[in-house]
């Protein structure tokens, strides 16, 4: 599975399916932000990040223009990533609280971070067509994670709307009518593939600057969702070692 997921990541990073997104990500990488003028931007689709045998998946929205589109790693180098990785570290699912670049030593314990749209969109707003075009990558990623993944945290309403159809295509039954997004929403999905396990899906407000600055999402709220999801996934947040050891015991 490791080789398969690595191969998927390489295919994702070479995708040019959405002309508007290709033009934008490459323009941003060429023009750059003044603060990063001396850096080489990734400027390509950003694959998921985390171990191939993850028991917990975190699904966001899309890479930030000067975050993941610059660093090449999901939720790295921007304010949203600062909030997410700090929370993952605090509950024992990440080796460090900051994520600045690909070589910074960050490790995730039993967690895979990904998004339904892999290219940075203008104004952080992908179109429905771009979301649907990119869905094939999320379906393939979730399918490869299916042997081990037991819980999913979806950040924001856009991610929720994109994730449920992808989960259905990857081997789980989504209730009808589809559950509506809300913070703290929790849905159990039954498998449609023989031998697969049920999946617990959690809704969480997105870790956007707006949500954090206004207090709509607090660090405590985020930690609460991550801790509950990790517990359902068979991970035991608390310390790095506990989370990592629990993953090994559950493998």
pLDDT per position as a tens digit, 102-147: 999 999 999 999 999 999 999 999 999 999 999 999 999 999 999 9
Distance, in Å, from the CA atom of 78 to the CA atom of 80, rounded to the nearest integer, reads: 6
pLDDT value at position 245? Answer: 44
Distance, in Å, from the CA atom of 3 to the CA atom of 145, rounded to the nearest integer, reads: 12
High-pLDDT (> 70) share of the chain, %: 93
Of 159, 157, 153, the closest CA to residue 138 belongs to 159
Peptide bond into 177 cis (omega under 30): yes
> Which burial class, exposed, middle or buried, applies to 152 when counting CB atoms under 10 A from its CB (0-12, 13-18, 19+)?
buried
Of 111, 146, 78, the closest CA to residue 227 belongs to 111
pLDDT value at position 238? Answer: 53
Mean pLDDT over the full length of the chain = 93
Distance, in Å, from the CA atom of 77 to the CA atom of 62, rounded to the nearest integer, reads: 13
Mind listing the pLDDT tens digit for each residue in 178-218? 999 999 999 999 999 998 999 999 999 999 999 999 999 99
pLDDT value at 244 more than 70 = no
pLDDT value at 17 more than 50 = yes
The count of other CB atoms within 10 Å of the CB of residue 220 is 9
Distance, in Å, from the CA atom of 114 to the CA atom of 47, rounded to the nearest integer, reads: 7
Q: Which residue, chain included where needed, has tokens 């599975």?
A: 1
- What mean pLDDT do residues 42-48 have? 98
The pTM of the full predicted model, rounded to 2 decimals, is: 0.93
């Amino acid at each position: 599975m490791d080789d398969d997921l690595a191969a998927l990541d390489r295919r994702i990073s070479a995708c040019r399916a959405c002309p508007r997104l290709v033009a934008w990500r490459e323009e941003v990488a060429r023009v750059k932000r003044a603060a990063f003028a001396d850096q080489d931007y990734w400027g390509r689709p950003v694959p998921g990040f985390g171990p191939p045998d993850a028991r917990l998946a975190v699904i966001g929205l899309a890479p930030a223009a000067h975050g993941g589109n610059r660093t090449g790693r999901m939720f790295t180098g921007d304010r949203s990533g600062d909030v997410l990785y700090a929370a993952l570290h605090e509950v024992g699912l990440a080796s460090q609280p900051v994520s600045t670049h690909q070589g910074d030593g960050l490790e995730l314990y039993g967690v895979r971070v990904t998004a339904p749209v892999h290219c940075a969109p203008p104004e952080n707003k992908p179109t429905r067509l771009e979301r649907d075009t990119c869905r094939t990558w999320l379906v393939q990623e979730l399918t490869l994670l299916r042997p081990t993944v037991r819980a999913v945290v979806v950040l924001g309403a856009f991610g929720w709307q994109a994730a449920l159809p992808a989960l259905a295509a990857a081997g789980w039954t989504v209730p009808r009518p589809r559950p509506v997004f809300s913070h703290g929403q929790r849905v159990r999905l039954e498998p449609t593939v023989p031998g697969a396990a049920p999946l617990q899906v959690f809704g969480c407000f997105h870790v956007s600057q707006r949500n954090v600055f206004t207090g709509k999402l607090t660090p405590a709220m985020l930690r609460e969702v991550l801790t509950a999801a990790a517990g359902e996934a068979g991970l035991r947040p608390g310390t790095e070692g506990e989370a990592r050891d629990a993953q090994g015991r559950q493998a």
